[in-house]
Amino acid sequence: MIESLYRIVALLRKELLAILKDSRSRVTVFVPPILQCLIFGYAASFDLNHVPYVVLDRDHSGASRALVAAIERNGVFERVATLNNAAEILPQITDKRAALAVVIDRNFERQLMAGKTANVQVIADGRNTNTAGTAQGYLSVIANDFSRKWRNEHGYAAAPGVHVITRAWHNPNLITRWSMIPSLIGSITMMTTMILTAMSVAREREAGTFEQLLVTPFRPYEIMIGKALPPMLVGLVQATSIFLVAQLWFRIPFAGSYVVLLLSLSLFLAASVGIGLFISSMARNMQQAMIGSTVVVMPFMLLSGLTTPIMNMPAVAQYLTYVNPLRYAISVTHQIYLEAAGVGRLYPEMLALMIIAAVTLPIAAWMFRNRLT
């Protein structure tokens, strides 16, 4: 028992040295997560800031100018040109000078004065359906506000109908970054730890040192622990640095408990390292390990709820997400961060992560010995 512990500690030391002794490799393990967190934190948002647009005002009236002023005041839209005829719209949008064209009808003011519906056309560049949809949504809010104000100023009673009050829990202003950055802790560490793990065994196989390891008194589970713990430790350091960037730089509110976060991240890392080891136990060389982990990591990232909600996915894809550790990591970090969830609420996710680790790690250990080529 004690001997086994000695062996594991020795292997752990050797593994950590292999990752950390080279200064270039130290840099590539610890700096990228911080850079990625900063870049993703700013880049990964569907909120719009600068949307170039053009206006074709066919009405030239006080009301149409007031509508354009309302669009300008919103701050998101930046007018790049004021057009005089419809033929000018096409080149503006095709050449990507503008993302939107707002066309105000000739009878805009007259319709409003007559108490009727006045029309505005919004033409959007469909090459980016996301931006187009969001920008059109912003504009319809502006138009609604404009209508309400117009009615008030012109002595119409408040419109009959149901007033809808919308409230958002945990994130009252629905700031994308509050959801995005906590999910990055899992996403970034998974990418690096899984590849790190997969490559580490493959590197030894390619160099022939893995066979040497197998003829030593090490038992498969000892090799497994020796190979699994160092990437987990590296992953925890990475997760901590991302967490610090989130707290100190982006100042994301953290409502939950650090202990619960640490516990669930450890389980998550065990599951990702398990999958990484599983891939590396199948791979003959580093190329296979790299390709294998890319082919696995990519669907994991896409099917995790990071970019699009899981409930939008077709049923088959939703079932696939059950074996994806990142899915649980993102859901758990969100809940800890914003909802202050404790173990009592998170146990289904934690249990799932444990099962993934408990299945992949022993299989990898078994494969080490039984796949000798």
Partner 1 sequence: MIGAWIRAHSPGIRRVIALCRKEFWQILRDPSAMAIGVILPLLMLILFGYALSFDIKNLPVAVVVEHSSDDTSSAVSALRLSPYFVVHPASTMAEAEHLMAKNKVQAILRFPPHFSRDIAQGNASLLVAVNGTDANTARIAAAYVNGAIRTWQARDARDGIPLPEIPNVNIENRLWFNDANQSQWFLVPGVIVLVMTLIGASLTSLVMAREWERGTFEALFATPVRPGEILLSKTIPYFIMGMLGLALSVLGSQLLFGVPLRGSLWLLILLSSLYLLVALGIGLVISSVTKSQFLANQITFLVTFLPATMLSGFIYDIRSMPMALQIITHIFPARYFVSSLQTLFLAGDVWAVILSDMVVLAMMAAILMSIAIKFTRKRIG
**29 token code pair:** 């393990």
Nearest 5 degrees, angle CA 144-CA 148-CA 154?
140
Residue from 71, 124, 246, 260 binding partner 1 (CB under 8 A): 124
Radius of gyration of the chain, Cα coordinates, nearest whole angstrom? 28
Shortest distance (Å) from residue 217 CB to partner 1: 28
Nearer to partner 1, 230 or 305 (CB): 305
- Applying CB under 8 A, the site for partner 1 has a residue count of 117
The answer to whether 175 contacts partner 1 (rule: CB under 8 A) is: yes
Helices 220-244 and 258-282, interaxial angle, to 10°?
Answer: 130
Residue from 298, 343, 351, 355 binding partner 1 (CB under 8 A): 298
Which residues between 196 and 235 bind partner 1 (CB under 8 A)? 199, 203
Nearer to partner 1, 351 or 358 (CB): 351
Residue from 150, 221, 250, 366 binding partner 1 (CB under 8 A): 150
Nearest 5 degrees, angle CA 346-CA 175-CA 311?
50
Contact indicator for 198, 295 with CB cutoff of 8 Å: no
Residue from 62, 75, 160, 208 binding partner 1 (CB under 8 A): 160
Helices 258-282 and 325-339, interaxial angle, to 10°?
Answer: 170
Span of 160-168, 211-219, 273-281, 358-366 interacting with partner 1 by CB under 8 A: 160-168
The answer to whether 170 contacts partner 1 (rule: CB under 8 A) is: yes
Span of 224-232, 243-251, 296-304, 357-365 interacting with partner 1 by CB under 8 A: 296-304
User: How many Å from the N-terminal Cα to the C-terminal Cα in the chain?
Assistant: 31
Q: What is the number of residues in the chain?
A: 373
Shortest distance (Å) from residue 193 CB to partner 1: 12
The answer to whether 40 contacts partner 1 (rule: CB under 8 A) is: yes
Single-letter amino acid, residue 339: E
The answer to whether 88 contacts partner 1 (rule: CB under 8 A) is: no
With tokens 């050797």, the residue in question is 14
Residue from 11, 132, 232, 246 binding partner 1 (CB under 8 A): 132
> Which residues neighbour 75 within 8 Å (Cβ) at sequence distance 6 or greater?
none
The answer to whether 17 contacts partner 1 (rule: CB under 8 A) is: no
Nearer to partner 1, 106 or 219 (CB): 106
The answer to whether 163 contacts partner 1 (rule: CB under 8 A) is: yes
Shortest distance (Å) from residue 334 CB to partner 1: 5
The answer to whether 72 contacts partner 1 (rule: CB under 8 A) is: no
**18 token code pair:** 């292999």
The answer to whether 87 contacts partner 1 (rule: CB under 8 A) is: no
> Which residues neighbour 260 within 8 Å (Cβ) at sequence distance 6 or greater?
336, 341, 342, 343, 346
Residue from 9, 69, 291, 351 binding partner 1 (CB under 8 A): 291
Shortest distance (Å) from residue 183 CB to partner 1: 9
- Half-sphere exposure (CA, 13 Å, Cβ side) for 37? 29
**240 token code pair:** 């901590």
Helices 176-207 and 258-282, interaxial angle, to 10°?
Answer: 40
